[in-house]
Structures are given as C-alpha cells and as structure tokens.
Structure 1
Amino acid sequence: MTYHQPANYHPFHIIGADRPARWVVTCDHATNTVPAEVGGGDLGLPSEDMARHIAYDVGAAGVTWALAELLNAPAILSNFSRLVIDPNRGEDDPTLLMKLYDGTIVPANRHADGEEIERRLNAYYRPYHDALTKLIASRETPVILSIHSFTPQLSGRSPRPWHVGLLYADDTRLALPLLDRLSKETDLCIGANEPYGGHLPGDAIDRHAIDNGHPNVLIEIRNDLIRTDEQQVAWAERLAPILQEVLAETGL
C-alpha cells in the first residue's frame, strides 16, 4: 500500500498554539504517515502492518486532540511513522531507525545508511523537536504531558493486563501523585513504568522536560481501549479533570 501526501506535507501539526494553559500535550507517534521522499511513500510493508503499533501509537492522536481541547492547552503531533524515524529516541539511540520491529522486517530500512538517517533527521525528526522546543518556550511555567499507546500483546509474549501505564524517570513530582490518584480508580489496572521502563536518555521527555526542569508525565493507554473516536474522547474526558486536580494539589 502506498501512502500519498499533499504537496504541503509538514512533519508535524500544532493545534491550539494560543491556548493559555500551562500544559503542553505531545504525541510523538501520532500517525503512520510515510513521506513521499521515503521509498516513494511506502516502507514496503503490507497495510495490516502499517495499521499496527509498530508503525504508530494507535488511538493516541485522538486522545491528544481531545485532551488538549479539554485542558485548553496546545498540542503537537508528529506526522511521520515511527518506522520512518523515531522522534521519541535520542539521535544516538540504536533504535532511532528500526529495521526489525516485533518480528517484522522493515524493507525500506534494511539498507538505510548514515547518510539516509541524517536526511530523515533533517527532514522530519529535527523540525518536530525544534517546533516542540518553541511551543514549550511559549509557556512561562510549562508542564509536559506526553500521550502514547501500547499494544495489548507483543508477538509471542504474555498479554499485558494494564489499562494505563505511567512512565517516569528521575523527575517524579507529577507522575507519582498522578499514579496514586489513578490507583484509586477501582476499575483500572494501572502500571508504574509499565509495560516498559521509564524514559530513555535523550528521548523526548528527557530532552524537553527533564533537562529543563519542567514537570512532566508520560501516559500510555492500551490501544484496544482507544480504537474509536468515542473511546478516545471518553478517555480524554476521564483523564483531563484528574490531571488538573493532581497538578493543583502538587503545587507545581
């Protein structure tokens, strides 16, 4: 399947740039778009693989849009597949450009060399991060909220029981109070640094929040719970008041 973009393709979208809230909502893996300059807009994968978590965070973009509106906050969303180049990795991370992911070989990446990686960094990755830097700088006291989703089960692995996971590293000022609050939702299974560990050195939260001392949290939602527009809005409506409540209580 070939993915076509209009002539005005842009590697990211910003919504609500003038909204006044302290929150800055990010969605690093918002879309499975393959820009035309990469393999003619085709990574060589079948459409069913491009619709999976290996290509993007299923449902995360819709949650981001709805949350940003409810929080009266700006949001930035990437507009290139994580398989093109992963904006949630440091530039020196070996998983920046994946050639094999969850058992699937990515044909267009098999022979990508340093020159091709640098081209993709300049065309997609760096513009996204530059825009995020400017968006955060437009807030006097920004709070970074990163929205992701995860698959219920990796190939050959055990099912993941968590509905929501909170990821954090050294800066737990917001994450731990939020974890405590969400743990009181009796119908939810909440993971602390699940389904995988906290931030990686050089990833988006490390680069934009932790290095600059901004309060932050990364929320992972299991993607079978946010596949429809209605589910995405419902989760945003559930999370938004909790986020506002916890931020106010922390006094950050």
Structure 2
Amino acid sequence: MVLAQPKILSEADGECVGIERIDGRSPLLLVCEHASNTLPQRFGDLGLSSEALSSHIAWDPGALAVARGISKSLDATLVYQRFSRLIYDCNRPPSSPGAMPETSEIYAIPGNKDLTDEERLARTDALYVPFHDAIRGLIGDRRARGQDSVIVTMHSFTPVYHGRQRPVELGILHDEDSRLADRMLDVAAEAPLYRTERNEPYGPKDGVTHTLILHGLSNGLRNVMIEVRNDLIADDIGQGVMADYLKGLLQQSLDA
C-alpha cells in the first residue's frame, strides 16, 4: 500500500539541504544536522512559544557559525540541514522516537503529538532522505576523484539541562571508531584551553552517533562529533574564537 503523504515543503521554503564549498580541498566533510530553528511554513509554530523555538530544543545555537568558520579557514565542504530538528532530527534514524519528538527536555511539542504513519513518512522523505543522500553523494564524488573524506559533525549543547549545570565545555564524541577522537583529545590535552571530555555530555548510548555510523563507520572513514557548550559561542566573537581553536585542533590531529 502506498501512503498518501502530506506536502512538507513549499516553493517558498526552498531546499532542505545547504551545501557550501562543494569543491573544498580539505579532506574534512563538515556536517551540521541542527543548524537552523526555521520551521517549514505549513507547520506554523508547532504550538510552541517564541522562547521555546529560539532555545536548544529547536536547533544547536552557534553550531552553524562555528562550522562555517572552520569551513572557510580550511576550505572544507559543509553540509547542513535548513530546517529545525523539531520537524525531523537528521541525527536520528526514522525508527527513533527522537526523530520527531513529542517532548524535548521540559517542553511538550503539540505539533508532533500523535503523528500518523503518513505524516512521519512525509517528514522522513522530505528532510531526512535528501539530507543523507547529499552527504552520501558528496562522499562518492570525492572518492571518484581520489579525495579522502573525514566526517566531522558539529553540534552545540545547553549549559543547563533538566536543571543541572554541565561543567564540560567541549565534547569529543565517537562510536566504535575512535581514531580521530583519540588524536584530538591528545592534542587538546597538550595545551588545555577548554574543559574537554570524551563522549560528553552525550555518547553512543544516547543515540547521537547516527550520522557517524551511517557515513563514517559504514565507509571506513575517520569521523568525530564535536559538541560545544553554547554559552561559549553565543556571539560573533565567541564563534570566531571557537572556530579558530577547532580549526587548529582538527588540522593538527589530521596531520598526525
């Protein structure tokens, strides 16, 4: 049976995938799944306040700006999702409840409650599939021209979660392949600037390594997920400082 899918994106919404420096010379392939808090027009505000929609539940504040800084400095290709994680979290497989969450931290999300199979499939086909197809295509194109790919996903996290302070400032996350993460942690420890920890404030057990598994582990490519506490990248200055630091950290780790 073919499910009748509601239309997710209008002409005014545009494409769901953003790609910058498509011919970047760096082996880094930067990915930002939670780059935006924009909602497709048909969803209105999902029943949420403007405060909720500007918070970490809707996107990773500052992550895209930092990724863009690294991309520019290293001439690295950047792929990002142009719509909010509340419509579809592209770092979750379609089978995951977190892909289209009914609640996020302290917020109920009325527009995601009791979605039908048709609605879930429509969101998957409109947002998840083209996003990961784009990454897959870039890896294939780079391989065809003899260019290596190193998958780096860029995220940010809230300093306070469920009322608890998070002391970690920078998280270096990995799944079964820790090659790049190990080297980054070693380099970071040589001249500590931020409180940096392995698989914090999340780890594989939290289901956050989906993109790494899908495009890194499955292809035998080095990969890492970077989590930055978002109070450190709340403005242009903080974003620039962090982008410069991570650029150096990644470059030294790749050179090794």
Same fold (TM over 0.5): yes
- Which position in structure 1 is the counterpart of 2:4? none
- Which position in structure 2 is the counterpart of 1:35? 40
1:124-135 to structure 2, matched below 5 A, reads: 124-135=127-138
Matched residue type, 2:174: Y
**Counterparts of 1:24 and 1:12, CA distance in 2:** 14
1:41-56 to structure 2, matched below 5 A, reads: 41-56=44-59
Asked if 1:95 is matched to 2:98, the reply is yes
1:119-171, Cα deviation, whole Å (9 max, x unpaired):
00111111111111112222231001110000001123x21001100111110
Matched residue type, 1:28: E
- Which position in structure 2 is the counterpart of 1:114? 117
**Counterparts of 2:88 and 2:19, CA distance in 1:** 19
- Which position in structure 2 is the counterpart of 1:13? 18
**Counterparts of 1:114 and 1:6, CA distance in 2:** 24
Q: Secondary structure at the match of 2:129?
A: helix
Asked if 1:216 is matched to 2:223, the reply is yes
Identity in percent: 37
Matched residue type, 1:118: L
**CA spacing shift, 1:185–1:47, aligned 2, 3 Å:** farther
**Counterparts of 1:17 and 1:218, CA distance in 2:** 20
Between 1:161-170 and 1:4-13, the stretch displaced more is 4-13
- Which position in structure 1 is the counterpart of 2:161? 154
Q: Is the 8 A contact 1:71 1:240 kept in 2?
A: yes
Q: Secondary structure at the match of 2:165?
A: coil
1:88-117, Cα deviation, whole Å (9 max, x unpaired):
001211211100110100010012121101
Return the offset for 1:201: 8.2
Q: Is the 8 A contact 2:91 2:208 kept in 1?
A: no
Task: Give the aligned length.
Answer: 243
Between 1:136-145 and 1:98-107, the stretch displaced more is 136-145
Matched residue type, 2:118: E
Q: Secondary structure at the match of 1:245?
A: helix
Q: Which runs of 5+ in 2 are unaligned?
A: 1-8
- Which position in structure 1 is the counterpart of 2:189? 183
Q: Is the 8 A contact 1:183 1:189 kept in 2?
A: no
Return the offset for 1:8: 5.4
Matched residue type, 1:49: A
Q: Is the 8 A contact 1:58 1:227 kept in 2?
A: yes
TM-score (norm. length: structure 1) = 0.92
**Higher relative helix content:** 2
Between 1:186-195 and 1:4-13, the stretch displaced more is 4-13
Deviation >4 Å, runs of 4+: none
**Counterparts of 1:49 and 1:115, CA distance in 2:** 26
- Which position in structure 1 is the counterpart of 2:234? 227
Q: Which runs of 5+ in 1 are unaligned?
A: none
**Counterparts of 2:246 and 2:218, CA distance in 1:** 26
Q: Secondary structure at the match of 2:167?
A: coil
Asked if 1:73 is matched to 2:76, the reply is yes
